[in-house]
Copies of this chain bind each other. A is one copy, B any other.
Amino acid sequence: MKLAISGKGGVGKTTIASALIKVLARNEGTVYAIDADPDACLAASIGVPDDDAFNLKPVVEMREAIRSKTGTGAFYSLNPKLDDFIDDYSYKLGNIRFFRMGDPKKGGSECYCRENTFLNALITSLLLDQKDTVIMDMGAGIEHLSRGTARGVDMMLVVVEPGRNSVNTAKQVERMAKDLGIPKIGVIANKIRSESEKQFIAKNFPDDLILGYIKFSEAIWANAMEPSPAVEMDKELLAEMEKVCHIILREVGGKSN
C-alpha cells in the first residue's frame, strides 16, 4: 500500500503523516516513511534524532550507487541486493524505515526536479513493492502534482484545515491526482475546533471523500515552541488517526486485509 500526504502549507501534513506512520507501524509492520518536502521536518516529527537525519544519505544519491553496482541503474537489476540498499539509505526506528529525498541546496544552485523524478521511479519500482507500506510526506502546495512525483501511489491523502484557501488547494490536488491516475483520494480535516468548522469542511467535500475530522490539539500547539517535537505523540491524535487508518486500509487494503 502506497500513500502520499499533501495539502496547503501549514495545514499539518507532517503531523498527520507522522501519526499515520506510527499507527501503521504498530498495526501493519514495516513502514517506509519518505520525506519528499525540500523544507523537511518529518524526521524530527517521527523521532529521528537531528544528527542522524542530517547524516542520512538522501535517496537521490541511490541512482548512481545502483548504476555502479548493476551497470544499468534499473531497480530490478538489484535483486536480491535490495535489502542492502534499503539499509544503506534509511534510518531504522522500530518498524519504521525513514528516507529523505535530498540534501539542502545552495541558493540559486538548482531546482528539486531530479529528486522528484527519482522519488517517482523509486516508489513505482519493485524496490518497494505492493506488499510494502509506503508513506510520502509531500511538499506544500501543488507543484509535486504537476511534476507527478506521487504517480504510482494507491491513495492521495489531502489534509485540510477549516479555511477556504486549504479547501481550494485540496480541490486542485483532487483534480491533479485524477490527471495522474491515482485511484483513490481521501480528505483528512485537521485542526477542527467547533461544529461549525466541521460543517464548513463537510459542505465542501462529498461524504465519501472525508476520512476523518481531527480535533485541534492544544498539546501540539503548546509543543510548537519547544526545541524538538514531544517524544510521546499526542494520544488523542493517535486514537483519531487509528480510525482514519482503518478507513484507508478498507479502501486500499493493507497487509492485514
Choose from B8, B105, B113 the contact partner of A39 (Cβ within 8 Å). Answer: B8
CB distance A104 to B172 under 8 Å?
A: yes
Binds B, one of A27-35, A92-100, A142-150: A142-150
The verdict on A186 contacting chain B, using a C-beta distance below 8 Å, is no
The verdict on A26 contacting chain B, using a C-beta distance below 8 Å, is no
A34-63 at interface with B (beta carbon < 8 Å): 37-39, 41
* Complex CA distance for A88 and B75, rounded to whole angstroms: 49
* Complex CA distance for A151 and B225, rounded to whole angstroms: 31
* Complex CA distance for A147 and B113, rounded to whole angstroms: 10
A116-175 at interface with B (beta carbon < 8 Å): 116, 139-143, 145-148, 151, 162-165, 168-169, 172, 175
The verdict on A217 contacting chain B, using a C-beta distance below 8 Å, is no
* Complex CA distance for A168 and B90, rounded to whole angstroms: 23
Contacts of A141 in B (CB 8 A): 9, 37-39, 139-140
**In the complex, what residue of chain B is closest to A108 when comparing beta carbons?**
B148
Contacts of A227 in B (CB 8 A): 164
How many whole Å from A160's CB to the nearest CB in chain B? 11
CB distance B163 to A224 under 8 Å?
A: yes
Contacts of A169 in B (CB 8 A): 39
The verdict on A67 contacting chain B, using a C-beta distance below 8 Å, is no
CB distance B151 to A143 under 8 Å?
A: no
Provide the A217-235 mask, 1 if CB < 8 A to any CB of B, else 0.
0000000111110000000
CB distance A179 to B224 under 8 Å?
A: no
The verdict on A110 contacting chain B, using a C-beta distance below 8 Å, is yes
How many whole Å from A163's CB to the nearest CB in chain B? 4
* Complex CA distance for A2 and B106, rounded to whole angstroms: 22
A177-191 at interface with B (beta carbon < 8 Å): 177-180
The verdict on A197 contacting chain B, using a C-beta distance below 8 Å, is yes
Choose from B9, B147, B225 the contact partner of A108 (Cβ within 8 Å). Answer: B147
Contacts of A143 in B (CB 8 A): 38-39, 111-112, 139, 143
* Complex CA distance for A165 and B227, rounded to whole angstroms: 10
**Between-chain CB contacts (< 8 Å), 28 pairs:** A8-B9, A9-B141, A38-B141, A38-B143, A38-B146, A39-B140, A39-B143, A41-B165, A41-B168, A104-B172, A105-B146, A106-B176, A106-B179, A107-B178, A108-B146, A108-B147, A108-B148, A108-B151, A108-B176, A111-B111, A111-B146, A113-B113, A139-B140, A139-B141, A140-B140, A164-B224, A164-B226, A164-B228
